[in-house]
Copies of this chain bind each other. A is one copy, B any other.
Amino acid sequence: MAMTQSVDNQHNKPVLVAVSNALDQTDGLETLRSHAMFSSLRASDLDHLIHQSRHLRLSHHQLLYRQDMPAHHFFFVISGRLRLYRLDSSGIDRTLDSIAPGDCFAEVMIYADPPRYACYAEALKTSEVLMIPVKVYQELLSQHPEYAQAALRHYAIRAVTRFHDLEIMTIQSARDRLIRYLIDLLPNGARESGEVELPLPKCLVASRLAMQPETFSRILADLKASGLVRVNRSKLFIADPQRLMALSQ
C-alpha cells in the first residue's frame, strides 16, 4: 500500500494516510464554503483549491501527522472528530485540542517558518478531512489580496480562543479549572441551565485540563453529589451555572 509520506515508527501506523484512502473530491464539502477562510473565495478558486487537495478518510485512532514533521498541508474537518496532542520524552500524552466538523486545523502553519507541525493529530473516530496544500492557499492569497480579509478574521478569532484557553489553564485548582471548562461549553455562557457534550472522552478532557483521570472522575462525582451536574455518559446537564460558577470562586 503506497504511502504519501512515511510510517510512524512509534505506533506503526501510517502517517499522512494511505493513498487508497483518498475519496471522491467533491463529497461533503458544502460546509467548506461557510468557513471564514474560504467564504470569500470565488467559485473557480475554491474549485481549484479543492482539486489540489485530497479528501481523506481516517479510521478510529489513525494518526494524521506527527509533531515536528514538515507541515506542507493544513486540514479541514468534513466529518468525525480529531484531537491534537503532544508526546513528551517520557511518553506522557497531553491533549491540546479537539476538532469538530467545519473546523480547520494546522492552518496557522501557512506562516510558520520553518513550517513544522507543533503536535500530533489523530482521529478520535472515523473521520473525513480535506488535506489542503499550504502553497496553493498561499498562492490564492497573493493573487487575490482581498481574500486575506476574511482569513484575517479567522486568525484573529483563533488567537482569541487560544488566549481564552490559556486563561483557563492559569487557574490553579483542578476543580476550578474543570468548572470553568464546563461553563465555557455552555452555549449561552452561564446565563441558563443546559446540557453539554464533552468533546473528548473523559480521560482526554482530564489530560486537556492538566489533571489525572482519577481526579477528573472524583471532581465530577463531587459535583454530581452536590446536585450541580447530572451526568449521562459524555452528556452533562448543568442545572444552575451561576451557582456552579460561584462555587469555583
Q: Which residues of A does B touch, CB under 8 Å?
A: 86, 88-90, 92, 94-96, 108, 110-112, 118-119, 141-142, 145-146, 148-149, 151-153, 155-160, 162-167, 169-172, 207-212, 246, 249
| Bound-state Cα–Cα, A207 to B148, Å | 37
CA distance A209 to B170 in the complex (A): 6
Q: B89–A246 contact, CB under 8 A?
A: yes
**Residue contact A108 to B160, C-beta cutoff 8 Å:** yes
Copies of chain A in the complex: 2
Judged by DSSP, the binding face of A is helix
Pull 23 A–B residue pairs with CB atoms less than 8 Å apart, ordered by A.
Answer: A86-B167, A86-B170, A89-B246, A94-B171, A96-B163, A96-B170, A112-B156, A118-B164, A141-B152, A142-B149, A145-B149, A148-B149, A155-B155, A155-B156, A159-B162, A162-B166, A169-B169, A169-B210, A170-B207, A170-B208, A170-B210, A171-B210, A172-B212
